[in-house]
Amino acid sequence: MWLSGPVNKSGVEMSQATARRVRQAAIELFATRGFHGTGIRDLAEAAGLSSATLYHYMGTKEELLVSIMRASLDRLVTAACQVTADVPDPIGRVTNLVALHVYTHAEQQLETRVVDGEIRALSPEHRPRIIALRDEYEACWQSAIDDGCDRGLLRPSSRGVARLALLEMCSGIARWYSPTGPFTLDELAERYVEMALGLLGATGPVPAPDLAPVRELVAANWSD
């Protein structure tokens, strides 16, 4: 077997379409009602299956949550590396990270709400590995901020606090964004970049950023 689809706990191949329906139903319900507020039967109904069949496509309910989080964070960390890899200018790196964060948290707002808000539902067994992924992502931000400070381009009164404030600000998008709102997502991303650089005390005039490459990367990697 040279190409493997999704597998359950036994390593058996499964219908990808149904497996994806289960994942999507879980993301929607976990995001709107919370992990503990979502029952197995709610999940089954939303996926159009019986609760027994559900277990053909997943391990435990918590393993389903973990796999959703891991997939989401993996994609995010990879993308964060990509949008900062070949950008020597630290302000350009911050700009790309903000744009990436805004685009993903708006377009995948249900998924990101689960990742950001349900970590506390994880058991001590699974939590550290998810936290580690999140830390890896945040380290990418910190590195860009630190570099900008060292070169005198950014002047926050505290680098660490600035990172935390910045991330919370950008993650908020997932809690209120609506595609029918008064601003397009591109406009929102631009405004967030502007606010972020103001927050970081960027010195001097900042060139108008080109967010198109980031947007295209998001469109390519989150096209499910």
The binding site for DNA (CB under 7 A) comprises: 12-15, 18, 36, 38-42, 49-53, 55-57, 60-62
For residues 151 and 47, give the distance between their C-alpha atoms in angstroms, rounded to a whole number: 52
By CB under 8 A, is residue 161 in contact with its own copies? yes
Give the bridge partners for 13, in sequence order: 7
Maximum separation of any 2 CA atoms in the chain, in Å: 61
Helix (H) or strand (E) holding 107: helix 90-107
For residues 199 and 165, give the distance between their C-alpha atoms in angstroms, rounded to a whole number: 9
Secondary structure of residue 167 in the 3-state scheme: helix
Among DNA, its own copies, none, partner that 121 touches (CB below 5 to 8 angstroms by kind): its own copies
Neighbouring C-beta atoms of residue 61, cutoff 10 Å:
19
Among its own copies, DNA, none, partner that 204 touches (CB below 5 to 8 angstroms by kind): none
Among DNA, its own copies, none, partner that 128 touches (CB below 5 to 8 angstroms by kind): none
Q: How far is the first Cα of the chain from the last one, in angstroms, to the nearest whole number?
A: 24
Among DNA, its own copies, none, partner that 51 touches (CB below 5 to 8 angstroms by kind): DNA
By CB under 8 A, is residue 183 in contact with its own copies? yes
Neighbouring C-beta atoms of residue 213, cutoff 10 Å:
13
Among its own copies, DNA, none, partner that 61 touches (CB below 5 to 8 angstroms by kind): DNA
Residue 171 CB, shortest distance to its own copies, in Å, is: 7
Residue number, 56 or 134, with CB nearest to DNA: 56
Q: Which positions touch its own copies (CB under 8 A)? A: 32-37, 117, 120-121, 156-158, 160-162, 164-169, 171-172, 175-176, 182-183, 188, 190-192, 194-196, 198-201
